[in-house]
Chains A and B, each alone.
Chain A
Amino acid sequence: AQSVAQPEDQVNVAEGNPLTVKCTYSVSGNPYLFWYVQYPNRGLQFLLKYITGDNLVKGSYGFEAEFNKSQTSFHLKKPSALVSDSALYFCAVRDIGAGNMLTFGGGTRLMVKP
């Protein structure tokens, strides 16, 4: 079975500083990776995805993610954090062995302080 891990429960960063939210994955074939964000009392919003091609993927709200096959990682990044980026972030992988459903990591809470 495919899986993703988010090693940090929480990431703290000052506004204006770069941020990184880590994700590592385990798949048996080609990885199809996704990042979602969840604001309080809201559903998950799609940020970006990696299917194939460039290792640097650009997404919504200025976020980008770097795919690294040798390290089996797909870290979410943003050059300059905003207080409004504070939310819960989920990394996910398509499980092609189970109807293509998305398997999620445990989530990382990002706190951006003014």
Chain B
Amino acid sequence: DSGVTQTPKHLITATGQRVTLRCSPRSGDLSVYWYQQSLDQGLQFLIQYYNGEERAKGNILERFSAQQFPDLHSELNLSSLELGDSALYFCASSVIGGQGTEAFFGQGTRLTVV
């Protein structure tokens, strides 16, 4: 168990809908990362938050947004969903996001858009 908790584990929704994925980082970790894993594109970095503030942004669509709350949990909001958004979404956390710091991953949320 990595200590990173993601809910829900599975989500099935229709095209055009909006969903929220939740992540609770390991105790004491200030940095949260979101990744998307699809079959054809591997692990794609979406966005990073550090202590409530956005730190880095990757290939995140405008339909997607995220935030990190004062208690350090994070939510990833996906709207106007398309079939191609079906993927595994991972959250990871690390202590401070320093260069030599490993990140610990949750078990992911499998999103299926039908």
Bind each other: yes
A residues in contact (CB < 8 Å) with B: 30, 32, 34, 36, 42-46, 49, 51-52, 90, 94, 96, 98-107
Are the CB atoms of B99 and A45 closer together than 8 Å? Answer: no
B residues in contact (CB < 8 Å) with A: 2, 4, 31, 33, 35, 42-43, 45, 48, 50, 55-56, 58, 90, 92, 97-108
* In the bound complex, CA of A57 to CA of B35 (Å): 26
Beyond the given A43-B108, A104-B42, could you list 18 further A-B residue pairs with CB under 8 A, ordered by the A residue number? A30-B99, A34-B102, A42-B108, A43-B4, A43-B90, A43-B107, A44-B43, A44-B90, A49-B102, A96-B99, A98-B56, A100-B31, A100-B98, A101-B33, A101-B56, A101-B58, A101-B97, A104-B35
- Residues of chain A within 8 A of B99, CB atoms compared: 30, 32, 51, 94, 96, 100
